[in-house]
Amino acid sequence: MTSATSATSATSATTPRASYQRCATCGTQYSDTDALARCVSCGGLLEVVHAPPLLRGAELRAVFAARRSDGPGSSSGVWRYHELVLPNGGAHVVSHPEGNTPLLARDRVSSYAGVSGLLLKHEGHNPTGSFKDRGMTVGVTQARRIGARAVACASTGNTSASLAAYAAQAGIPALVFVPAGQVATGKLAQSLAYGARTLLVKGDFDACLSLVQQASERLGIYLLNSINPFRIEGQKTIAIEALEQLGWDAPDWLVLPAGNLGNTAAFGKALREVHELGLIDRVPRIAAIQAEGAAPFASSFRHDFTTRPKVKAETVATAIKIGDPASFDRAVQAIRSTNGVVSTVSDAEILDAKAVVDASGVGCEPASAASVAGVRRLVKEGIIRPSDRVVAVLTGHVLKDPGALLRYHQETDPPPQFANPPVEIEPTIEAVERVLATGD
Ligand SMILES: *Cc1c(COP(=O)(O)O)cnc(C)c1O
Ligand SMILES: [Zn+2]
């Protein structure tokens, strides 16, 4: 039974019992309303476990499908799957709404990447322009459920933009910690615009993360970083929604940029769960792509995850400029359980792939293009086959980082491969003709 408001009602016919939190390391269980950043016994990361819905397989698919045309209460591409996200969000749900992002096919991008069946899951279509909204709608809903008086995060920019927007909607004060001088213009602008108290920390992202954890403990502020397990629940819906868009016929690969590894972890958890529920009968392989200068997860992968390196991160793709990823262990599980791979791409490869995605009319921010650059690299290495069905996630909107974009197109020493520099002219028709005659 579904109604227009079922996606936001307290429970539904498909969700019999409650949820709880569990330490992924030692297994200690906590109530779903405990406001813990980490496991009290061992410091491990927490995960949320929901009672399995009463329905499975085709019946559950039908429930999700019905909600797509079910009116306002189902307009969120996160809460449409609330049984798998937060069954008891109930009246607390803070939704923009978000999700329902398109799966795009573009010939130029496909042929550049070398995969004819390439699809782009464009998370830049979310309300604040990145996939972070999918996690934040759940995180801020949880903040309301537990009566948090303030919320905080450390961020490379998109998490803070998203937190600022959802906290504003919920009427909860937000505090964000971002690395001074290292946040893309669009993201910093959003955080200020939506009214978050914005702290420019004289340090890198890893320093911000450590600072916000201390602050949340000392000041009793609810922490909404990606180690927050409720955000992971929301981010699962990127993969779930893509699978539904494909008629639950799983692709061969899901490819995504990887920084702090929350999203990689979310994809792994989503795929395990939808497979167990009989929503798909084959698990796609995850390919997590890091920037060469910020690739501790990729180097660990090359050593079969027996090492856990930390690096001083350096890359033009600021959203994945992270040297000590917080969700490392969860992400290892995601790669292992999907027979996945972790690879790297250079900044030049990222920017060229971005220019191709942009020029196809789609557009994305630098970090997002790591997924397309990664597909291209993995095809060259023979790991992805040109005939494979591949979904590459574009994580953020083209306008997030206008600085990097303008630098690429205006670079002259030498001009990058796909540069489209603006041409300055005198205000005469002859000048226009001269430019058009030279063909550039
Ligand atoms: C946050 C973010 C990433 C990285 O995701 P992680 O969960 O940190 O690995 C990639 N791209 C964009 C645009 C992001 O905002
Ligand atoms: Zn523990």
Buried b (16+ CB within 10 A) or exposed e, 189-217: bbbeebebebbebeebbbebbebbbebbe
Is the C-beta atom of 257 inside 6 A of ligand 1?
A: yes
Q: How far is the CA of 312 from the centre of ligand 2 (A)?
A: 28
Band of the pLDDT at 299, cuts 50, 70, 90? Answer: very high
CA distance 164 to 176: 8
Atom of ligand 1 nearest to the CA of 262: 7
Name beta bridge partners: 341.
Answer: 287
Ligand with minimal distance to 45 CA: 2
Q: How far is the CA of 45 from the centre of ligand 2 (A)?
A: 7
CA distance 180 to 188: 10
Residue 79 placed within a domain = no
pLDDT at residue 13, as a whole number: 46
Is the C-beta atom of 183 inside 6 A of ligand 1?
A: no
Is the C-beta atom of 154 inside 6 A of ligand 1?
A: no
Q: How far is the CA of 88 from the centre of ligand 1 (A)?
A: 27
Q: How far is the CA of 38 from the centre of ligand 2 (A)?
A: 8
Is the C-beta atom of 315 inside 6 A of ligand 1?
A: no
CA distances from 225 to 52, 101, 291, 294 (A): 26, 23, 21, 19
Ligand with minimal distance to 47 CA: 2
Chain segment 388-415, per-residue pLDDT in tens = 999 999 999 999 999 999 999 999 999 9
Q: How far is the CA of 82 from the centre of ligand 1 (A)?
A: 23
Mean pLDDT of all residues in 87-104 = 93
Band of the pLDDT at 18, cuts 50, 70, 90? Answer: confident
Atom of ligand 1 nearest to the CA of 396: 13
Q: How far is the CA of 245 from the centre of ligand 2 (A)?
A: 37
DSSP string, 245-305: HTTT---SEEEEE-SSSHHHHHHHHHHHHHHHTTS-SSPPEEEEEEEGGG-HHHHHHHTTT
Residue 87 placed within a domain = no
Is the C-beta atom of 321 inside 6 A of ligand 1?
A: no
Residue 263 placed within a domain = yes
Q: Domain holding 273: CATH number? A: 3.40.50.1100
Distance of CA 431 to the CA centre of its chain: 45
Residue 245 placed within a domain = yes
- For residues 409, 413, 417, 418, the Cα torsion angle rounded to the nearest 10 degrees is 10
Residue 439 placed within a domain = no
Q: Can you read off the two tokens belonging to residue 249?
A: 């016929």
Is the C-beta atom of 228 inside 6 A of ligand 1?
A: no
Q: How far is the CA of 174 from the centre of ligand 1 (A)?
A: 20
The total number of structural domains in the chain stands at 1
- Is the predicted pLDDT of residue 285 greater than 60, yes or no? yes
Q: How many CB atoms lie within 10 A of CB 303?
A: 10
Is the C-beta atom of 227 inside 6 A of ligand 1?
A: no
pLDDT at residue 17, as a whole number: 54
Is the C-beta atom of 110 inside 6 A of ligand 1?
A: no
pLDDT at residue 217, as a whole number: 85
Mean pLDDT of all residues in 37-51 = 94
pLDDT, averaged across the chain: 93
Please say whether the beta carbons of 87 and 50 come within 8 A.
yes
Mean pLDDT of all residues in 269-289 = 98
Per the structure, the complete domain to which residue 354 belongs is given by 103-128+229-411
Mean pLDDT of all residues in 123-148 = 97
Chain segment 206-250, per-residue pLDDT in tens = 899 899 989 988 888 999 987 899 999 999 999 999 999 999 999
The residue ranking higher by pLDDT, 4 or 87, is: 87
Ligand with minimal distance to 129 CA: 1
Band of the pLDDT at 163, cuts 50, 70, 90? Answer: very high
Chain segment 334-385, per-residue pLDDT in tens = 999 999 999 999 999 999 999 999 999 999 999 999 999 999 999 999 999 9
- Is the predicted pLDDT of residue 9 greater than 60, yes or no? no
Residue 238 placed within a domain = yes
pLDDT at residue 225, as a whole number: 87
CA distances from 215 to 90, 145, 208, 246 (A): 29, 21, 10, 43
Question: Which residue of 163, 182, 263 sits with most ligand 1 atoms within 8 Å of its CB, as the best mutation to test the pocket?
Answer: 263
pLDDT at residue 90, as a whole number: 82
The residue ranking higher by pLDDT, 392 or 66, is: 392
- Is the predicted pLDDT of residue 109 greater than 70, yes or no? yes
Residue 55 placed within a domain = no
Q: How far is the CA of 22 from the centre of ligand 2 (A)?
A: 8
Residue 279 placed within a domain = yes
- Is the predicted pLDDT of residue 74 greater than 80, yes or no? no
